[in-house]
Structure 1
């Protein structure tokens, strides 16, 4: 097993996400840091904090120079951050020492690294939003199409009352709509410029620091937080918390599919399911299994990411390094889980016959609650409950359908009406979710 499973040539197709992973490569980080340095110099030049020609030169050079990430390894290992090595390589490649001496004026390494991260996270959040929209769109169609397809609802793994497959799908999808809304708040939390200087005071900019920070935010299309946030990691914790919440929702979908595709239930089929090396009959639910595993990993890593928010004093290398070790894998696994859920949703095929058999399992005793309330119109409810409980025991012992026994004991009881209303609000809830998916976004 390789050390980085998501990047593995063997396992990457199962656990990796190339589109998101590209934003966490060495090349992507170096390019983002150079863009931040260039924009910082340009803004400072426009404000007169450094010579305007120097600012323009540094900005142009930041878009043109090529820095080999491997050349930064030794300096990064020694300094704990890639920025000192990057600055040295940038100055060497750009030439013009008189211009380049104004590079990185009044900033510190964490300003550059965190702002470069925000630039890359912006694209990550765009990818997630698009995948969420695609996923809920497919679930909306499934919910509408199968709003009336009756099946057994199960609690504690046992048949409870009838529901519909459309309502089950809506149960997967409604939280995703809420996660999509919450994602906008997460954008505001993390897509912020970081410019604090050595310890949050911006003293080296001689009172012009707030202007520079505002200008840098505008130049990069990020928000200006109005202060430094080197040790304030609640935004990163909010991002991790959002990923954990989403993962729990996707895991629920995966767990349900593992049960619904299980031999003996087989109420849902997944087109293109996995095969076995020795058992040709197997249709293994590989997708749901991977979805659950990825979600568990995300939820665990989110806790580690949240704990990294406990920074010492103005800056804490240990806490910051913990973010570096955790966040890329968190984002890659979240992205893969979203992509996988969307793929799975498009390959689900409910089996109406199997669902009908599920409703008839255990001699139709799934109708016990509905029968109790039907009888409660004729007698006190406690008496109705006692009679139905006794009838359930008889049905199970004799293998006789509960409804047949009810017809025997209570002539004139409208069992057809009872069954017609047995799914309750399930169809309406399925259609309401489908309608919510189709509503335009504000």
Structure 2
């Protein structure tokens, strides 16, 4: 057994991350990405005429991350405080005389930031794909239940009828907007970093070559070329983690709703059944909503990741004295958490057990009072809003106190009978006649395709 946190624990890691996302942020991938950046930098500098092309070619040919001594890297990184110098030292030895041109004019943070951005680029691609899969499943679920009437709840109490498809479409609408935000973030925030000691590229002289190198490096790595060094302007990475947290919150809302609807008293949903899933060690009947619980937990943890990034964004002068290090822990964990949350949500939504009969049955729990607003609004033309509200309010209070149905109380209220008539009162007791534009709005979301 190994691992001391939920992110590397053999027991918990697949509940708080996915194998695919762990691979993106693994030590092996990070070192390979650093090597990729160093090689790309050498190629860009050769094209700009700053280092010999032969040296750049040798660096590209001879730098081999598989041949690095990882135990030595671990030891040296703990000693130096950063991994780049230990990596460059070993790479330079691999390259012989050409190794003298490695890391030319760069500073440690240039390489680390660019490597982190490349990892974020790959991670965001996976998040976008996972988000699309979840949106597709939600779109299908909303379509299937566009006419499934269920209780709309406010403050955990019956409010008005809605459809289950409408509730799902509300979930989906938030994720559609997140898909648009994700596209914007990938365009705006995935920037190359190359500035040298304090960001001015002074080490490469006053000529145009320095800025050309940065532009060439951006092209080489498929990243945006920024106008100015962002060593201490961390808004890009802060926005990335904020978006991960915001998506996690929206997925967590789905988990919260599903978990509540899975409760015995509601009984309207159940997570997909797999033998042993959500089982209790003492209560054989239990079928706990484990996926929903993990979605909620991820949302709460992601909030703290975003908060930590905001703290880390306040960096002093031209190089930070500690906030930068916060990102090293926060960014991988944020990606892991959301990758897991999306996977759990997609599995749950794709195979969700929806009990439409129980939904219909639950509509009657309040003795027809879920249609109180419908009756009140029908009375308004004759009685005015305030009087209509008072009459229906009193009828609801009598029904609740006596345990009778609201329709019965209304039929015993002369002003209501005179205004509406018995047939109209009974018609208004049908939840399906008071759905407003729920189906039209649901249809609009179903047919919408967010750009991404």
- Is 1:423–2:435 an aligned residue pair? yes
In the alignment, structure 2 segments of 5+ residues that lack a partner are none
Question: How far, CA to CA, are the matches of 1:349 and 1:25 in structure 2?
Answer: 36
Q: Secondary structure of the equivalent of 1:277?
A: coil
Question: 1:306 corresponds to which residue?
Answer: 310
Q: Secondary structure of the equivalent of 1:135?
A: helix
Question: How far, CA to CA, are the matches of 2:64 and 2:76 in structure 1?
Answer: 23
Question: 1:178 corresponds to which residue?
Answer: 177
The answer on whether the counterparts of 2:270 and 2:354 sit within 8 Å (CA) in structure 1 is yes
Correspondence for 1:352 among 347, 353, 356: 356
Question: 1:23 corresponds to which residue?
Answer: 24
Question: 2:424 corresponds to which residue?
Answer: 414
In the alignment, structure 1 segments of 5+ residues that lack a partner are none
Question: 1:386 corresponds to which residue?
Answer: 390
Question: 1:372 corresponds to which residue?
Answer: 376
Q: Secondary structure of the equivalent of 1:84?
A: helix
Question: How far, CA to CA, are the matches of 1:15 and 1:64 in structure 2?
Answer: 28
- Is 1:269–2:270 an aligned residue pair? yes
Question: 1:322 corresponds to which residue?
Answer: 326
Give 1:112-127 correspondences, 5 Å limit: 112-127=111-126
The answer on whether the counterparts of 1:407 and 1:413 sit within 8 Å (CA) in structure 2 is no
Q: Secondary structure of the equivalent of 1:15?
A: coil
Question: 1:42 corresponds to which residue?
Answer: 43
Q: Secondary structure of the equivalent of 2:383?
A: coil
Question: 2:255 corresponds to which residue?
Answer: 254
Deviation at 1:417, TM superposition (A): 4.8
The answer on whether the counterparts of 2:17 and 2:337 sit within 8 Å (CA) in structure 1 is yes
Give 1:269-288 correspondences, 5 Å limit: 269-272=270-273, 273-288=277-292
Question: How far, CA to CA, are the matches of 1:220 and 1:366 in structure 2?
Answer: 58
Q: Secondary structure of the equivalent of 2:358?
A: helix
1:440–1:24 Cα change, 3 Å: closer
TM-score, length of structure 2 as denominator length: 0.93
Question: How far, CA to CA, are the matches of 2:70 and 2:308 in structure 1?
Answer: 27
1:218–1:380 Cα change, 3 Å: same
Question: How far, CA to CA, are the matches of 2:66 and 2:361 in structure 1?
Answer: 67
Deviation at 1:14, TM superposition (A): 1.8
Question: How far, CA to CA, are the matches of 2:3 and 2:434 in structure 1?
Answer: 52
The answer on whether the counterparts of 1:30 and 1:69 sit within 8 Å (CA) in structure 2 is no
Deviation at 1:364, TM superposition (A): 1.5
Question: How far, CA to CA, are the matches of 1:147 and 1:77 in structure 2?
Answer: 57
Question: 1:58 corresponds to which residue?
Answer: 59
Give 1:63-102 correspondences, 5 Å limit: 66-94=67-95, 96-97=96-97, 99-102=98-101
Q: Secondary structure of the equivalent of 1:106?
A: coil
Q: Secondary structure of the equivalent of 1:151?
A: strand
Deviation at 1:15, TM superposition (A): 1.9
1:407–1:214 Cα change, 3 Å: same
The answer on whether the counterparts of 1:65 and 1:90 sit within 8 Å (CA) in structure 2 is no
Deviation string 1:334-357 (CA, Å, 9 cap, x unpaired) is: 111111111111121221121112
Question: How far, CA to CA, are the matches of 2:352 and 2:326 in structure 1?
Answer: 39
- Is 1:158–2:148 an aligned residue pair? no
1:64–1:381 Cα change, 3 Å: closer
More moved, 355-364 vs 145-154? 355-364
The answer on whether the counterparts of 2:64 and 2:91 sit within 8 Å (CA) in structure 1 is no
Deviation string 1:213-234 (CA, Å, 9 cap, x unpaired) is: 0011111111100221111101
Question: How far, CA to CA, are the matches of 1:240 and 1:10 in structure 2?
Answer: 26
RMSD of the alignment, in Å? 1.7
Q: Secondary structure of the equivalent of 1:5?
A: coil
Q: Secondary structure of the equivalent of 1:162?
A: strand
Deviation at 1:172, TM superposition (A): 0.9
- Is 1:144–2:154 an aligned residue pair? no
Deviation at 1:69, TM superposition (A): 2.8
Deviation at 1:3, TM superposition (A): 2.1
The answer on whether the counterparts of 1:38 and 1:61 sit within 8 Å (CA) in structure 2 is no
Deviation string 1:158-191 (CA, Å, 9 cap, x unpaired) is: 1111111001101111110011100112113331
Question: 1:237 corresponds to which residue?
Answer: 238
Question: How far, CA to CA, are the matches of 2:14 and 2:31 in structure 1?
Answer: 26
The answer on whether the counterparts of 1:26 and 1:69 sit within 8 Å (CA) in structure 2 is no
